[in-house]
Structures are given as C-alpha cells and as structure tokens.
Amino acid sequence: MDGRRVLRSVVEDLLAPLADLVLPRVCAGCGGPGEVVCPRCARWLTHPHLARPRRHPEGFPPTVAAGPYAGPVKPVVLAFKEHGRAELAGPLGAALALAVVGVCQAARDGPGPLLLVPVPSSRAALRERGRDHVGELTSAAVRELRGSGLDARRARLLARRGRVADSAGLTAADRRANLAGTFVPRRAPGVPPDALVVLVDDVVTSGATLCEAAAALPVAPATGTVLAAVVAATPAGARPPVTAGPGVITVRHGRWG
C-alpha cells in the first residue's frame, strides 16, 4: 500500500466518528438508525441460491446470487449503485463473496486461484456515477475471500466497446440483441490452467448481460465453463439455496455497521 492510500485510510478512520455525529448512519434497506445495513436487512443477503432468469437465455452461465433482488436488498443495492453510498461496498462485497463461494463449491478441484472478473459498465454509466461500482464490489469481495484464506484475485479480462440503447422496457431477447458484441477480451496475462474464472456483477435480471460477458471470456481451464456470481437476482429466478458446507469458507460479516 502506498503512502497516499495509507494517509487516506487514516483520514477516513479519523473522520468516521465525526461523520456519524453530523450525519448519523441509517440503514440503506429500512432506514433504521445506527448501521449502514442493519442485521435484519443483512440477513436477506446470506442465502446463496442458484439464479436463473424466467426465460432462461442460451449461454447463461451457472450463477449464484447471495439473495433476492427484493425487500430491503433493492434499496441497498440502489443506494450503493446510484446514490453514492460507497460505504456499502463492504457489506455488499461480503455478500458477493458468499455467492462466489456458492458457485465455486461444486467446481473447486485443486488449489488454483479464484479469478473474479467484473462485468464492465458502459462509459456513459461510469461518467454518470463517477465511479466503477462493480469494480468496487469485486475488490471488496476479493478482500473478504483472501481474509478467509482463499487465493482470490481481481482479473480485468473484459472490456466494453460501442454504445447500447437504454434497456428499459426491452424484452429479454431484445436486451440480448442490444448487447451483442458489447464485450471483448482485454489483453491480459494468460489464465492459469488451474484457475476458476467467475464473472461478477451486482444484479441479474434477464441474464442478457451475463450471457454476453461469458461468451466473450475464454473458457476457464479448470471447469470447462465460465461461472458467475452476483449480489442479488430477481425473485422469479430463485432456486433452492446453495450451502458452502463445513470448513469451506467463513466470510467475515463484521463490517455491517
């Protein structure tokens, strides 16, 4: 960590108590005081399950979500994504790490690294938000996984090109057509032969984005396929919960407040 990052971390630690006095923390899910995500709302993101869109699109990768995109989860995600509440990266990153564990548990074979590949946002979205929110989630998830003893790495293997129309109101098929050719591989070091490649994003709805992103990635040598993990999935796609099993990982949830 360089000097500027250390200084920034120290300043943030010093200012946090003052910020709590001036602008008391409220839960992004229910509005209750005291924590950025209260324990009751946080529990919605501790139930990893297989996510599958209502109209299962061809090429949709095996995907696990930490919770449903419903109830308090939706305002939490939107507060982080659209309203600048960057402090939510910690709890949402922990949820994403849980989903990564869920999708990898059946495929895990050997000590190879987990490569978390963030789905890149459009240039317009990056300009509007002023930040790469999926990249922030990915980095937070990597920290959680490393803290639990796993060799997890953020891997920028995808780039985005061209422009797409606003997807609001489009059918699943139209969304897929709208995104065709949007993602391309980046020039990056080769994927280790024993690595698990996991696409990561905040939310899956129609599945079009994950389909196109997965198609642009090289097949993961360790599994023969690309896996995916998201914070939340639309409830219509919920499947039975996925359990990580004893001794696989314990994702730290100590930073909800």
- Residue bearing tokens 């803290």: 147
Per the structure, the count of domains in the chain is 1
The answer to the question of residue 102 being in a domain is: yes
Across the range 232-255, mean pLDDT stands at 51
pLDDT at 195: 86
The answer to the question of residue 232 being in a domain is: yes
The answer to the question of residue 29 being in a domain is: no
Tens digit of each residue's pLDDT (9 = 90 or more) over 179-214: 666 788 887 677 787 888 999 999 998 888 999 899
Tens digit of each residue's pLDDT (9 = 90 or more) over 30-82: 999 988 999 999 999 999 999 988 777 788 999 999 999 999 999 999 999 99
C-alpha 105/C-alpha 218 separation (Å) is 21
Domain holding 207: CATH number? Answer: 3.40.50
Mean pLDDT of the chain: 79
pTM of the entire structure? 0.79
pLDDT at 11: 53
| Residues of the domain holding 62 | 47-241
Q: Determine which helix (DSSP H) or strand (DSSP E) holds 15, and give its type and residue range.
A: helix 3-22
Q: How many helices and strands (H and E) does the chain possess?
A: 8, 9
pLDDT at 240: 47
7 versus 186: the higher-pLDDT residue is 186
Across the range 244-250, mean pLDDT stands at 36
- Decide: helix, strand or coil at residue 111: coil
Strands 63-68 and 227-233: parallel
**What is the rounded end-to-end Cα distance, in angstroms, of the chain?**
25
The answer to the question of residue 7 being in a domain is: no
The answer to the question of residue 5 being in a domain is: no
pLDDT band at 238 (very low <50, low <70, confident <90, very high): very low
- Decide: helix, strand or coil at residue 28: coil
The answer to the question of residue 101 being in a domain is: yes
Query: How many CB atoms sit inside 10 A of residue 204's CB?
Result: 25
Provide the percentage of residues in the chain whose pLDDT is more than 90.
44
